[in-house]
């Protein structure tokens, strides 16, 4: 007898008719009619080109689109025989389109796909974003092959990104995941992942689907859950992920609250393991690294520094409640620097982030309220990075991000002290 299901009756019936499948590729969507046809065609081409002998299912888990997104998934032609293969494939991937149930959000869409993968008894699965413009058939091979052929349970993406793009990942998420979970997973919240059927079943059984994981925390939850468990993790280089890049100094408070809050919550869940972690290990990598053209990311240095200085003034009484006095004094001293010479030392930023992690743990103030005050400090760190990285090429950028992450590891005793202190 099956356990409780989140599948709609028509989806369950469709699964009964499909039976089993070797691989599944899922696409969560909401009003992605403009791009999802390309994504489905790329997935279909990748499946028949690289896994021709396997039965495959493409699943679209939709959040109630009003622009015809599910109809496009159902109707788009998988034209994979001309120009891609020597001969037309004997069978094409099956498509299953369903709405998801539960709290609106990407995590609820994933929950549905986890159950579908389990019912299909799929050996390997992948999920990709519905708005990708840069996906190619090779992405499918790179996300699934490490699971099918090398026995890995989780495949994180590796992207080439502009040095001013992904600054939340580069300055907070990657260094924290590396120092607390001990693995150098470069893009922990990349959005496109591969995973084993065993891991899909593990995800589905977790009791997290009535909170933030269901809404917006699914990416970091998947990565940290895999890292904290008995699962083999690797990375796959996918090239550039083309998306609508934004100025890292604008419209980001909600995103920062969501991303940092979800990561801090995972550190809390795995606190014993995270606090005991010393150093970090390399994560195996698949795919061929190559240079790609990257879309420029506009930045407004003056606006970021102004926001930092304003935050230092407006939130000073709040910072006094949880920032270490030396950290608070160091940040205040930066408010007198000019934008062109703005420089936030790496160790000051590390202590700042660790103070916020400890504050979320102690809950002396509401966590969301605390996290909102992180925004101006993050903008200060980003301004400092823009000044520092102006002359850098890709190699220098990665070297500096690695050096910052190493400082997070070296300063781990500071986090332990702040975590365990009593007032």
CA–CA dist 237, 276 (Å, integer): 30
What residues are paired with 57 via a beta bridge?
Answer: 24, 94
* 3-class state of residue 305 by DSSP: helix
Per-residue model confidence (pLDDT) at position 84: 59
pLDDT at site 243: 61
pTM of the model: 0.94
Q: Tally DSSP H helices, then E strands, for the chain.
A: 20, 8
The tokens 């608070």 sit on which residue? 328
Residue 68 neighbours by CB under 8 Å, 6+ apart: 33
Say which DSSP state 160 is in.
E
Q: What domains are defined for the chain?
A: 9-278 (3.90.550.10), 301-420 (no CATH)
Cβ(123)–Cβ(88) under 8 Å? no
pLDDT at 320: 95
Give the pLDDT of residue 1. Answer: 36
Residue 229 half-sphere exposure toward CB, CA atoms < 13 A: 17
pLDDT value of position 293: 77
Residues of the chain with pLDDT under 70: 1-3, 79-90, 243-251, 423
Q: What is the pLDDT, as a whole number, of residue 318?
A: 95
């Amino acid at each position: 007898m099956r356990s409780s299901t989140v599948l709609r009756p028509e989806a369950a019936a469709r699964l009964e008719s499909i039976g089993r499948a070797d691989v599944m590729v899922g696409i969560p969507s909401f009003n992605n009619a403009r791009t999802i046809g390309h994504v489905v065609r790329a997935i279909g081409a990748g499946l028949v080109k690289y896994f021709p002998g396997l039965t495959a299912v493409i699943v679209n888990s939709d959040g109630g689109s009003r622009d015809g997104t599910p109809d496009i998934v159902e109707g788009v032609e998988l034209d994979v025989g001309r120009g891609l293969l020597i001969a037309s494939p004997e069978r094409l991937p099956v498509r299953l389109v369903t709405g998801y149930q539960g709290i609106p959000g990407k995590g609820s869409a994933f929950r549905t796909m986890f159950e579908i993968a389990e019912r299909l008894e799929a050996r390997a699965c992948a999920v990709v974003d519905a708005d990708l413009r840069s996906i190619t058939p090779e992405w499918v091979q790179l996300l699934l092959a490490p699971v099918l052929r090398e026995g890995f349970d989780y495949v994180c993406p590796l992207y080439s990104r502009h040095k001013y793009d992904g600054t939340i990942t580069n300055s907070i998420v990657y260094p924290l995941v590396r120092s607390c979970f001990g693995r150098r997973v470069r893009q922990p919240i990349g959005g496109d992942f591969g995973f084993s059927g065993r891991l899909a079943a593990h995800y589905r059984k977790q009791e997290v689907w009535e909170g933030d994981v269901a809404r917006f925390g699914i990416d970091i939850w998947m990565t940290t859950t895999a890292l904290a468990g008995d699962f083999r993790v690797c990375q796959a280089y996918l090239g550039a992920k083309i998306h609508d890049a934004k100025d890292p100094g604008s419209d980001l408070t909600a995103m920062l609250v969501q991303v940092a809050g979800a990561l801090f919550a995972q550190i809390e869940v795995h606190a014993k393991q995270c606090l005991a972690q010393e150093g970090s290990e390399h994560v195996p990598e698949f795919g061929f690294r190559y240079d790609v053209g990257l879309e420029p990311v506009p930045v407004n240095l003056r606006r970021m520094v102004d926001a930092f200085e304003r935050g230092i003034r407006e939130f000073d009484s709040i910072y006094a409640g949880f920032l270490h006095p030396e950290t608070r004094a160091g940040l205040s001293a930066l408010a007198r620097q000019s934008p062109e010479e703005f420089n936030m030392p790496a160790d000051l930023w590390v202590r700042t982030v660790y103070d916020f992690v400890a504050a979320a743990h102690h809950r002396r103030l509401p966590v969301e309220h605390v996290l909102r005050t992180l925004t101006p400090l993050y903008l200060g760190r980003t301004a400092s990075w823009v000044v520092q990285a102006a002359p850098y090429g890709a190699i220098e950028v990665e070297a500096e991000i690695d050096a910052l992450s190493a400082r997070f590891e070296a300063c781990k005793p500071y986090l332990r002290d702040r975590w365990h202190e009593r007032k």
